[in-house]
């Protein structure tokens, strides 16, 4: 029997999206004339180049495969056909093309959540194709990468901090899904930890909140006129912002109505440009 085989030097590949596959193809010496090489019907989409085409019987041709479409990590066949006008044969090369996973969907803490425990628990959705996740917590939004205070890698879709964060402080977090082909970060979300900051002041001015428990109004009072305006937000335990007010520059107190809300626990978030205070409020 004439040798009509066309034999690849490697017939299985696992690559990442954007990478190129190269292998040698040996042409059987049983063909009677030069062999024309082509890509067979049903092959995975790609650009295929042969170092020689037509090729002589018994020769070795280098095959370069580029611009290969993603197969989501599942092997698809590249079919190579050889024909000398009389005789023909084909061979299959299996190529699996993976890509970096998509960004995870963040679950907890919710965006702008307040009263988050200082040993915060983070949760996110599983991502197909991800082999691990990287959690990062920073204390500066504008320069997130330069101000990361906690970083961890895990194969799970949740993580609880082993070191406590600072009470009453605003933090920013993201999680990246990772595999051998790269990583994709989520959006950056904001949360504030439970309690007040260490000095109990905002822009250098001490604040008090009274009465607490409250029925109709909560008064926010400062020891001196506010040097900069501050944002005051009443937040439900679900994280929903119920209302926002401004503590104006130069003011020393402001009354906030709470009588229209059901009895229960709320959080008063007081934020300036650089600092945040969070006070638990009970409405009776």
Domain end residue (candidates: 170, 193, 216):
193
- Does the pLDDT value for residue 276 go beyond 60? yes
Model pLDDT, residue 199? 34
Structure tokens at 256: 């906030």
Q: What is the pLDDT of residues 80-99, one digit of tens each?
A: 999 999 999 999 999 999 99
Pair type for strands 205-210 and 217-222: antiparallel
List the CATH number of the domain containing 145: 2.60.40.10
Residue 217 belongs to a domain: yes
> DSSP states of 187-198 as a string?
--EEEEESS--T
46, 125: one domain:
no
Model pLDDT, residue 142? 86
Model pLDDT, residue 38? 96
Residue 74 belongs to a domain: yes
Domain of residue 267 covers 201-283
54, 83: one domain:
yes
12, 93: one domain:
yes
Q: CA 176 → CA 4, 79, 120, 154, 270, distances in Å?
A: 50, 37, 18, 10, 31
pTM exceeds 0.85 for this model:
no
| Residue 121 and residue 164 in contact, taking contact as beta carbons nearer than 8 Å | no
Residue 1 belongs to a domain: no
Alpha-carbon distance of 126 to 74, in angstroms, equals 19
Domain end residue (candidates: 157, 175, 193):
193
- Does the pLDDT value for residue 137 go beyond 80? yes
93, 114: one domain:
no
212, 186: one domain:
no
Number of domains in the chain: 3
50, 24: one domain:
yes
- 145 three-state secondary structure: helix
198 confidence band (pLDDT: 50, 70, 90): very low
Strands in 148-272 per DSSP E: 148-154, 158-160, 170-179, 182-185, 189-193, 201-202, 205-210, 217-222, 230-236, 241-247, 253-257, 264-271
Average pLDDT, the chain: 90
94, 10: one domain:
yes
Q: CA 123 → CA 81, 105, 111, 169, 226, distances in Å?
A: 50, 9, 12, 20, 38
| Residue 98 and residue 73 in contact, taking contact as beta carbons nearer than 8 Å | yes
111, 170: one domain:
yes
205, 189: one domain:
no
List the CATH number of the domain containing 271: 2.60.40.3080
Neighbours of 175 (CB within 10 A): 28
* Stretch (H or E) spanning 77: strand 75-83
Alpha-carbon distance of 100 to 174, in angstroms, equals 17
Residue 241 belongs to a domain: yes
Residue 209 belongs to a domain: yes
Q: What is the pLDDT of residues 265-274, one digit of tens each?
A: 888 888 887 7
Alpha-carbon distance of 247 to 230, in angstroms, equals 5
**Rounded percentage of the chain residues whose pLDDT exceeds 90:** 60
Domain end residue (candidates: 148, 172, 193):
193
- Does the pLDDT value for residue 14 go beyond 70? yes
Model pLDDT, residue 195? 62
Q: Of 9-13, 144-148, 244-248, which range is least confident? A: 244-248
């Amino acid at each position: 029997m004439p040798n009509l085989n066309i034999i690849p030097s490697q017939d299985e590949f696992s690559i990442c999206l954007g990478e190129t596959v190269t292998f040698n193809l040996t042409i059987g010496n049983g063909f009677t004339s030069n062999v024309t090489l082509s890509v067979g019907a049903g092959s995975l989409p790609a650009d295929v180049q042969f170092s020689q085409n037509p090729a002589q019987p018994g020769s070795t041709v280098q095959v370069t495969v580029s611009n290969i479409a993603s197969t989501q990590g599942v092997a698809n066949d590249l079919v190579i056909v050889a024909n000398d006008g009389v005789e023909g044969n084909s061979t299959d090369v299996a190529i699996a093309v993976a890509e970096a996973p998509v960004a995870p969907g963040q679950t907890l803490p919710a965006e702008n959540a307040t009263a988050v425990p200082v040993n915060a628990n983070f949760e996110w959705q599983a991502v197909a194709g991800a082999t691990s996740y990287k959690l990062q917590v920073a204390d500066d939004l504008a320069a997130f990468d330069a101000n990361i205070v906690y970083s961890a890698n895990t194969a799970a879709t949740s993580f609880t901090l082993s070191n406590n964060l600072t009470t009453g402080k605003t933090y920013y977090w993201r999680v990246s899904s990772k595999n051998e082909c790269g990583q994709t970060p989520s959006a950056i979300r904001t949360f504030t930890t439970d309690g007040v900051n260490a000095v109990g002041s905002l822009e250098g001015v001490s604040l008090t909140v009274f009465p607490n428990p409250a029925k109709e109004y909560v008064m926010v009072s400062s020891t001196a006129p506010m040097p900069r305006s501050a944002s005051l937000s009443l937040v439900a335990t679900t994280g929903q912002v119920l209302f926002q007010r401004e503590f104006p520059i130069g003011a020393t107190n402001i009354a906030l109505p709470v009588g229209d809300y059901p009895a229960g626990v709320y959080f008063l978030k007081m934020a300036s440009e650089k600092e945040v205070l969070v006070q638990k409020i009970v409405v009776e």
